């Protein structure tokens, strides 16, 4: 039987890595558009918007990782209680 705690930790790791990769991609594209030497201010504003959104994403990513770690901790406590 698959260990529930291991499954939760595996999914937590996968989701966290995916979220950080998406954050870094958005942040780098935002800075590239914001600093691009093009005369279109609309594209530069869009780049600034991406940078601001990626900062909010980093905050929510930190909150989400904390929640996932708490769920993993609770699952390990429950697994230990049921195993004893």
Render pLDDT for 54-74 as a digit per residue (tens, 0 to 9): 788 888 888 888 888 888 888
Q: How high is the pLDDT of residue 25?
A: 84
Residue 83 confidence class, pLDDT cut points 50, 70, 90:
confident
pLDDT at 1 over 50: no
Domain that holds residue 38: 4-83
User: What SS3 state is found at 22?
Assistant: helix
Tokens standing for residue 44: 């530069």
- Structurally, the chain folds into a number of domains equal to 1
Tokens standing for residue 56: 């909010």
Please enumerate in sequence order all residues whose Cβ is within 8 A of that of 20, keeping only pairs 6 or more positions apart, or say none: 61
CA 9, 12, 16 angle in degrees (round to 5)? 145
Residues 6-52: pLDDT tens digits? 887 888 888 888 888 888 888 788 777 777 677 777 777 777 787 78
Please name which of 62, 59, 65 lies closest in space to residue 12, comparing C-alpha atoms. Answer: 65
Is the full-model pTM beyond 0.75? Answer: no
């Amino acid at each position: 039987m698959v260990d529930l705690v291991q499954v939760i930790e595996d999914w937590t790791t996968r989701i966290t890595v995916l979220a950080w990769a998406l954050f870094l991609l958005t942040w780098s594209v935002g800075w590239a558009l914001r600093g691009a030497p093009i005369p279109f201010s609309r594209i530069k504003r869009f780049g600034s918007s991406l940078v601001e959104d990626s900062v909010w994403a980093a905050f929510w990513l930190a909150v989400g990782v904390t929640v996932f770690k708490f769920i993993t901790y609770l699952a390990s406590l429950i697994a230990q209680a049921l195993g004893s």
